[in-house]
Amino acid sequence: MLMLASLVTTQAAELPAGMQQFDAQMERVRKQFDVPGIAVAIVKDGQVVLERGYGVREIGKPAPVQADTLFAIASNTKAFTAASLSILADEGKLSLDDKVIDHLPWFRMSDPYVSGEMRVRDLLAHRSGLSLG
């Protein structure tokens, strides 16, 4: 794994065959989904072992995507949030039936009863009554 971390700044010609195949696959995926650019990071045990960019930031402009290029991902954050909460539940760090206020003490709805009874599961299932986002 440490070897992969050093590959982040290595030139393509110096990459081992596995990394060249990975790069080629990322380019195929980028083209298949017709996107100008993507950034990829692989994290293992809390450590970044690989981060790379592919393609360009904007169609018709030469600026390449880099590992730290920011993207507007809009509603994709909902899937990330659900996956993250599911991982925390699997690890026993929270339950989807926990009250939101137990984890976010500042959380408030307009009705104090709802604030105290809202469950994590309710937020994930869009049963909160929140209309934005």
d(CA 77, CA 83): 10
| Catalytic residue status for 75 | yes
Distances (CA, A) of 115 to 105, 106, 119: 10, 10, 9
The token pair at 44 is 């293992």
- Which residues, 6 or more positions from 26, have their beta carbon under 8 angstroms from its beta carbon? 38, 40, 52, 54
Catalytic residue from among 75, 95, 110, 115? 75
For 49, counting Cβ atoms within 10 Å of its Cβ (0-12 exposed, 13-18 middle, 19+ buried), the class is middle
> Which residues are catalytically annotated?
75
